[in-house]
Structure 1
Amino acid sequence: MPKYCRAPNCSNTAGRLGADNRPVSFYKFPLKDGPRLQAWLRHMGREHWVPSCHQHLCSEHFTPSCFQWRWGVRYLRPDAVPSIFSRVPPTKSQRSIQGADKPVAPPPPQAATTLTPGPAIAASGPVHLVVLGPASGSPTTAATFLLTPLPPPPAPERPRPEVPALQARARLGAALGVLQRRVQRLQRRQKRHQAQLQALEQLAQQLRRERLLARARGLQHVVRALSGPEESQTFTIICGGLDVAVVLSQGPAPPTVDAKPELLDTGTSSA
């Protein structure tokens, strides 16, 4: 069953937008809290009406201070009392709806009052005026008139309540996006540095091999100059590297350059 507001002169139903451009919310009457229920009915102008557990008031009758916000959702405070009601007479459809409610106890009889001139005083609700007929043999007849005061001037537009949770969430999202972009930029820079480091290591290894080979060739010329033409010797010369060893020979065995994975520390000679 769709919810609708039971306040006089209010036709808000579920799905409508309120003055703050938010969907109207509905709240049940505090039936278990007698003093608070009487305060609700007194502000509505229906002190003798008995609401049921299936009837509601919409959020348009509460001031912003009556709500508390949690993660963008507003909740009614435990001590909230509605105070915003229109005094415009209800339409025919609203009177028919109100007539279907539980019967209202008649107000206590009031004494006859006389109107005296004076400054106008704004009434907070309907005023009952009892007029007694002239004294005669018949029982005194009385007529009751219902005087409705003029509606109050429209209240100024209420400022929209701030939603700090949504604002904080937006700021956190923006900061997270900045951090993610910074991390991606650092990752790309790290990949470039790794590629440059690998290229430099390969270049250093290549230069080291070329330097060792040049040193081995120089030693070969020195050994060849020191030995005679009739001698045939083979030498194993360690050039100081971990992966290059040079074998120099004279005579039948041609000089060779051999690459080995381990350091050679012995030498052989043959006549």
Structure 2
Amino acid sequence: MFSLADRSVIVTGGTKGIGRGIAGVFARAGADVAIAARSSDEIDSAVAELSGVGDGRIIGVVTDVSNRSSCDEMARTVLEAFGAIDVVCANAGIFPEASLETMTDAQLSQVLDVNVKGTVFTVQACVSSLTESGSGRVIITSSITGPITGFPNWSHYGASKAAQLGFMRTAAIELAAQGVTVNAIMPGNVLTEGLVEMGEDYIAGMTRAIPMKALGTPEDIGHLAAFLATREAGYITGQAIAVDGGQVLPESPDALPA
């Protein structure tokens, strides 16, 4: 059960953070994995690290998900390399800070172009191959921020993450007849390079706010993505699942045990 040994997977934003964790889980499960990102140097590093950890092939594809033509080229490259695209993990995303009062048009457009348009372009580029797979899977990395919670200086990010879920639900309806499922993962605070940059005080505060008293790992997200990618998960579609250690559960800090 739950084999990924014959599955071909694209992970956008797969060179670091959550994307790297997702790619690693799929690679260790024996899938063929294509890591898509903008930096060729980071791609080379990720491919070198994951090559040989499983029985599948690992390739890298330089891709700008905010550009439709680049996404189309990504899909063509992966199809030529693997012969199929069974799973698309639309993970690429950015989260620059900007207050609502100071946010510029350019800052808003940048986040929406990568996080929202990038998700749509990635899925569109792979739809025909996912349909041909017979059990195609789309897994979108959203967030608890936006759909469930909010955080200062991330209103544009939160809006983009909520928009992904709106896209996910309608895409799930449109693609269901072709046997393609579309689901989303909503990570809580996951210990990535980006979170480390927020500083020790931020990490300590977030850890205290999580009932399980620990931040998530990129692999925690990867494990759910891997399950949703299996044939056994074929009756699950249009769902957004939080992986957050219970972070969204307390109605106030007083609800947490000392």
Q: What TM-score, normalized by structure 2, do the two folds share?
A: 0.22
More helix per residue: 1 or 2?
Answer: 2
Q: What TM-score, normalized by structure 1, do the two folds share?
A: 0.21
- Is the radius of gyration larger for structure 1 or structure 2? 1
RCO higher in 1 or 2 (8 Å CA, sep ≥ 6)?
A: 2
